[in-house]
Amino acid sequence: MSVDMNSQGSDSNEEDYDPNCEEEEEDEDPGDIEDYYDGVANDVEQQGADAFDPEEYQFTCLTYKESESTLNEHMASLAATLKVSHAVAKLVLVSFHWQISEILERHKSNAAQLLVEARVQPTSSKHAMVHSSHHCAVCMQFVRKENLLSLACQHQFCRSCWEQHCTVLVKDGVGVGVSCMAQDCLLRTPEDFVFPLLPSEELKDKYRRYLFRDYVESHYQLQLCPGADCPMVIQVQEPKARRVQCSRCNEVFCFKCRQMYHAPTDCATIRKWLTKCADDSETANYISAHTKDCPKCNICIEKNGGCNHMVMGFSLSSADFCWMCLGDWKTHGSEYYECSRYKENPDIVNQSQQAQAREALKKYLFYFERWENHNKSLQLEAQTYQRIQEKIQERVMNNLGTWIDWQYLQNAAKLLAKVSSGVLCRYTLQYTYPYAYYMESGPRKKLFEYQQAQLEAEIENLSWKVERADSYDRGDLENQMHIAEQRRRTLLKDFHDT
């Protein structure tokens, strides 16, 4: 049965937090949390939400031609400096991730070693072992000298074997990785060596695409847009795990790992978390049922909105509670810190392996349930966003104002939902749970959990008001938007790695 949520939510409750109410066994220093947040509260009152953005990141969206021009410019400059062919210069750039300053420094100290490390020249010892022969080392056929081809390593193979070798690799999607056929020889084949060996224009076009892909992926300042069939390339000055958005397909992703943006969690941690979630798929399926029992009447209920403030709106029950912990909502404001914080068992290291395994599973389920809950809330709030757009359209058509008059409603929904042009408020909150799961206990984690709780409280207040936008005036909604966004930026400023 769906829950009918039809009463007003409570306002922000940050002043109710008291770090002295911690459990007795946790005697770590709370990290001056109250003093810290006094300053943050002043910031919220005195600064605009746009005063400081910890996620600000400069990037440029390049077309295929623009990015190819950039790559060719770097290649031509380096080829002239190293006095090598353009094709060899590209292989050197790939090997050193297009960091030209490092390449020039290595060239200055030892030019020959640079080419060896780039796998375009063999070491002197291997080169000395090669002996001339008119036999192809692959098909073992006697071949005329002019039909034998080799790289700088002088490993000679007939043209037919080279053609088959390159054709098979290109069909398998290999670009820069085409290398010498000799055993234990790692020399890469320059593109001007491979192109004449490919038998059709179709294969040559594929090879060009694979080369371009490899050139971009190896460049420390470039990333291919992961959007479906999108040819755009994102360029930055300093590569970081930051949010970028394609100007063509509007795909939003993390520049560093090309996965869904995941602040404040870093790339390695989110990979570890998603792998763990996939490995525990049966547990995830169980949790994902999204049904619970009402804490008052025990009726099975399902959440039908993004907000976690639940109200049973029928005669059998008048419960007013939190979806996550099922605690009484009237007193819940002061308990947000407890609701979002996992209470570690300090004596677990002295217990049996079975007990430790149960505790580990309990901890994982605690964080996974909250992660999954916010994921579902995002989906529901995306529906709310769509309903608000339809409502605004209806009001405009009925001459009840203009789009500008009702824009604040759309902005409030954007702040909550994961929409392409909006700020990702609940989306950020969702990714705080993997961060907290892997975080070491201590004062810094206490501060993080407190900020996480404050952000969650403000987001739930905003979600409640957005779902009941007609009951709140514009100033109230915009103020709640401002507070929620300021909490989000404060958390990212302190805990999103720079």
CB 299 within 8 A of CB 281: no
Cα-Cα end-to-end distance for the chain? 45
Instruction: Say how far apart CA 177 and CA 155 lie, in whole Å.
Output: 17
Q: Could you tell me the two tokens for 287?
A: 């949790």
The CA distance from 182 to 166, in Å, is 14
- The span from the CA of 410 to the CA of 466, in Å, is 9
Q: Are 263 and 55 in contact (CB under 8 A)?
A: yes
Reading the block at residue 409, the tokens are 């409603």
> Which pair of structure tokens corresponds to residue 52?
């400081």
Token couple for 236: 């930055």
Contact 346, 23 (CB under 8 A): no
- Name 254's bridge partners: 243
| Positions marked active-site | 307
